[in-house]
Structure 1
Amino acid sequence: MAESEEDIGGVAEAIRQAALLAMRHLLNREELSVSAMEVLHTLSVEGPTRITTLSEAIHVSQPAMTQLIQRLGRRNLVARVTDPEDGRATVVNLTQSARDLLHRLRNEDNEKLAAMLATLSASDQEALRLAMHVAGPIIRRLNDSAARLAQATTGPGMQSTEGEQ
């Protein structure tokens, strides 16, 4: 394996380890499934969104997304409202309860991370701070690229059929 391939492999493994850290220690699965968190996060970033758009973004079938939205609606986390651009259609929007929940979960995640980071030496903490200062924007661009690539390769009606876990 060429040195650059080994470097890319090392970067890929570091990203996988970071994802594993987030999955194991930051996602509150007892409160919300991964799919539910993805929907709430998407709505918090994108604003009111149609179910078809959400199902494409989260890579679940439209029926699975409809069921998830119904469950989130029963928990008063989302509400369907008339689409301001097309009065015949509806969009899904976050409720204040969802915004409050996301804020609380973000704070809890930050507390968990702070406790984990406190176990590192001061020099490791500084090295990680510097690395994330550089890597953070790159990871955001990777997420954006992955979303665009997934949307380009997964047309409407071709989504995964995975539902809420």
Structure 2
Amino acid sequence: MQNLEALTDILAAAHRLGRIVAREAGSTTPVAQWRALSALEENGPLRVGAVAAACGVTQPGMTRLVELMTAESLVEKRPDPTDARAVVIEITDAGRAARRAWIETVREALTPRFAALTDDEWAAIQTTAALLRARTTDYPNGSE
């Protein structure tokens, strides 16, 4: 299963890239926060369970993270329009701004490591990113 090994390698490299960016940026923000803000930005308001599933964390863990993000005005809780007993989490303008700033930080941290790539190497990365994005966006309902 050489093909599956390549996916495992990509996953491991992505985790290393995340650690490199966090270290170079001096960030102590949990990576799940950036994943949560991205999920909310891409999908709109979601229940806590759906955000947790999108981020690969437990629902109790996401509940704690949502409390922290709410206190920082990065997200808001709103009544779920389909179920009065539930709430959905919605990204705020401050959350969008924080996410944009983090993306810029990621770009700045990674640029020196990848500046010498050829056009063909960039094309391979862009193709890989598109393939992965197309096969990893099926989580808005909270299940994977």
| Range into which the TM-score falls when normalised by the shorter chain | 0.7 to 0.9
Alignment of 1:72 with 2:65, yes or no, is no
User: Which residue of the partner structure matches residue 151 of structure 1?
Assistant: 143
**2:20 aligned partner:** 25
Q: How many residues align?
A: 141
Letter paired with 1:94: I
| Alpha-carbon distance in 1 for matches of 2:7, 2:83 | 43
How far apart in 2 are the matches of 1:78 and 1:16?
Answer: 28
Unaligned 5+ runs, structure 1: 153-165
Contact 1:78–1:98 (Cα < 8 Å) also in 2: yes
Are 1:131 and 2:124 an aligned pair?
A: yes
1:13-92 alignment runs, 5 A limit:
14-16=9-11, 18-27=13-22, 30-92=27-89
Q: Between 99-108 and 10-19, report the one with greater CA deviation.
A: 10-19
CA RMSD of aligned residues (A): 2.8
Q: 1:95 matched to which residue of 2?
A: 92
The whole-number CA distance in structure 1 between the counterparts of 2:15 and 2:56 is 20
Q: Distance in 2 between matches of 1:62 and 1:133?
A: 32
1:99-138 Cα distance to aligned partner (Å, 9 max, x none) = 10101111121222222222x2xxx422311212322221
Whose Rg is larger? Answer: 1
Moved more, 104-113 or 13-22: 13-22
- The one-letter code matched in structure 2 to 1:111 is E
Using a 3 Å threshold, how does the CA distance of structure 1 residues 129 and 29 change in structure 2: closer, same or farther?
same
Structure 1 residues 51 and 19: CA distance shift in structure 2, 3 A: same
After TM superposition, the score normalised by the length of structure 2 is 0.78
- SS at structure 2 position matched to 1:91: strand
Question: Secondary structure of the residue that 1:89 maps to in structure 2?
Answer: strand
Write the distance in 2 (CA, Å) between the matches of 1:46 and 1:73.
18
Structure 2: segments with no counterpart, 5+ residues = none
Deviations 1:3-58 (A, max 9, x none): xx4x4266246414531442222346725202222211111111111112223333
